[in-house]
Chains A and B, each alone.
Chain A
């Protein structure tokens, strides 16, 4: 389980996270939505300690950290509790696809080479990319790279996986295959927090949805509550914009002859 209370983070004079409180139960899939600059990514990065929070408590699994006076060994333990899937994949360019998964296992987790290879090949099979295991990341499409990124995040068997806009830099044709892999993992009762702009995907996969704006959690609830009956005006406004963006043409009356391509 993940428990965050009073989390704060500022960059210079800009407060990006203002007193964030939330919980994620084991096996739960939580989707965070919200406008750009609302602090969603920073929140994930604080959980993984890629950013150092200014204040607040973070409990993940059996590690708890008071971010104001946490020491290095605790930070390392906390970091091991989660792993991250990045918007830009960030695969190790100097390692093969398989090496991307086995290197962290052998270098830090003290796995034997054969064990690491076994884990790596199993996971690459799961994300459907085993045939590329000897290739280098540069030879893969964006979608394939992100699937490797997901396999790498799974390899260490962390308490939770954090997805930071996993499909935002993908060409539209690759989005589907990545979302499918994520949704397969979610069915396996893995604890996950996903920051995404894919609203249909969020609706389908989330056990719970959190809407963030201006460094606050504005509203949270089941997908039905948030998408169908949002209580807060900010949430309504945000979702209205999004449904307009994805072009729900049927709701607007457009004269067919005016539609040009």
Chain B
């Protein structure tokens, strides 16, 4: 067996410096996805005519096609249709693809979270003189957020890992750097294992943060 643990440790620092770009891809995509997913979920819950059909089509497409296909389509395909998108950077194309893809899943997660809040909560809020708007923001949304956090967290973990697909369009992020090191020294296993361990570490850290947050927001609901 030929496994050089010394080499693996040696290249770790060269890989760790790519954590920021990976996190940047994941976090920015997540923020955009939450906004789009939030709007879509409100459209789904309120069954806004026309908008609801368009939203369903959007969700169906971005859930029904591989994220890699979406990434290639946006980076290479869109400039062909819209020449002014020629100058789009690979990083931005990746962010667009990841956020569109994630938002389709989040829309369904948020919709379920909103509808799982008991209708009596809205009724009680309205009967105490609150407007529908105040009822949603003050009473329904905070409870829906609590329902949505576990599944949303899963999506974010998926996004951290999916961000590695950005290397296919030339973004030098964590995986791309690992590939570079691997092909330079032909020590593939060490390089890719190092990359894997770094992803693993990031998701473990994130899981801890989420656990802490869930415990915090669950407090009011535990007898």
A90 touches B220 (CB 8 A): no
Contact B128 A156 (CB under 8 A): yes
Select one of B123, B126, B221 contacting A136, CB under 8 A. B221
B127 at the interface (CB under 8 A from A): yes
Binding site for A on B (CB under 8 A): 118, 120-121, 123-131, 134, 138-139, 142-143, 146, 219-223
B129 and A90 contact, CB distance less than 8 A: no
The 5 A-B pairs of least Cβ separation, nearest first, read: A104-B128, A90-B124, A90-B120, A136-B220, A84-B127
- Quick check: A92 and B125 within 8 Å, CB to CB? yes
- For A79, list chain B residues within 8 Å (CB): 126-127, 129
Partner of A108, one of B124, B128, B221, B223: B128
Residues of B within 8 A of A136 (CB): 219-221
- Chain B positions within 8 Å of A95 at CB level: 139, 220
Nearest Cβ in chain A — how far from B133, in angstroms? Answer: 10
Interface of B is mostly: helix
B138 touches A138 (CB 8 A): no
A50 near B222: Cβ-Cβ < 8 Å: no
With beta carbons under 8 angstroms apart, the residue of A84, A93, A152, A155 that contacts B143 is A93
Cβ-defined contact, B130 with A104, below 8 A: yes
A90 vs B46: C-alpha distance when bound (angstroms): 22
A168 to B219: give the CA distance in the assembly, Å.
Answer: 29
Q: Are B220 and A109 neighbours in the complex by a CB distance under 8 Å? A: no
| Contact, CB under 8 Å: A108 / B129 | yes
- What's the Cα separation between A109 and B129 when bound, in Å? 8
Is A88 engaged at the interface, CB distance under 8 Å to the other chain? Answer: yes
The listed residue with most B CB atoms (<10 A of its CB), out of A90, A91, A109, A139, is A90
Q: A139-B223, A156-B129 are contacts. A94–B120 as well, Cβ < 8 Å? A: no
- Residues of chain B lying within 8 A (CB to CB) of residue A130: none
Give the CA-CA distance A107 to B126 in the complex, in Å.
12
Spell out A's residues near B (CB within 8 Å). Answer: 48, 50, 76, 79-80, 82-84, 86, 88, 90-96, 103-104, 107-109, 136, 138-139, 152-153, 155-156
Residue of B nearest to A94 (CB): B142
A233 to chain B: closest CB distance in Å? 36
Tell me the complex Cα distance, A92–B127, Å.
12
Q: In the assembled complex, how far is the CB of residue A37 from the closest CB belonging to chain B, in whole angstroms?
A: 20
| Distance between Cα atoms of A253 and B129 in the complex (Å) | 53
Indicate which residue in B124, B129, B222 contacts A92 across the interface (CB closer than 8 Å): B124
A104, B221: Cβ atoms under 8 Å?
no
With A94-B139, A136-B221 in contact, is A88–B128 under 8 Å at CB?
Answer: no
B223 touches A138 (CB 8 A): yes
Closest to A156 in B: B129
B138 CB → nearest A CB, Å = 6
B141–chain A nearest beta-carbon distance, Å: 9
Contact A86 B128 (CB under 8 A): no
A93 lies within 8 A of B221 (CB): yes
Complex interface: chain B residues within 8 A of A84 (CB): 123-124, 127
The CA-CA distance from A243 to B123 in the complex, in Å, is 34
A247 to B39, CA, bound (A): 56
Report whether B127 and A48 are in contact in the complex, using a CB–CB cutoff of 8 Å: yes
**Bound complex: CA of A136 vs CA of B222, how far in Å?**
8
Query: Closest chain B residue to A137 by CB distance?
Result: B220
A79–B127 CA distance with the chains assembled, in angstroms: 7
What are 17 of the A-B contact pairs (CB < 8 Å)? A79-B129, A84-B127, A86-B124, A92-B124, A92-B139, A93-B220, A94-B146, A95-B139, A95-B220, A96-B220, A104-B125, A107-B138, A108-B134, A138-B222, A138-B223, A152-B124, A156-B128
A147 → chain B closest CB, angstroms: 15
Q: Is the CB of B121 within 8 A of A138?
A: no
Q: What's the nearest-Cβ distance from chain A to residue B160, in Å?
A: 29
Chain A residues with CB under 8 Å of B223's CB are 138-139
Q: Is the CB of A50 within 8 A of B126?
A: yes
Within the complex, the shortest CB–CB distance from A7 to chain B, in Å, comes to 18
Beyond contacts A50-B126, A104-B129: 19 other A-B pairs, Cβ-Cβ < 8 A, are A48-B127, A50-B127, A76-B131, A79-B126, A79-B129, A80-B129, A83-B128, A88-B120, A91-B124, A92-B125, A93-B121, A94-B220, A95-B139, A96-B220, A103-B138, A103-B139, A107-B138, A108-B131, A108-B134
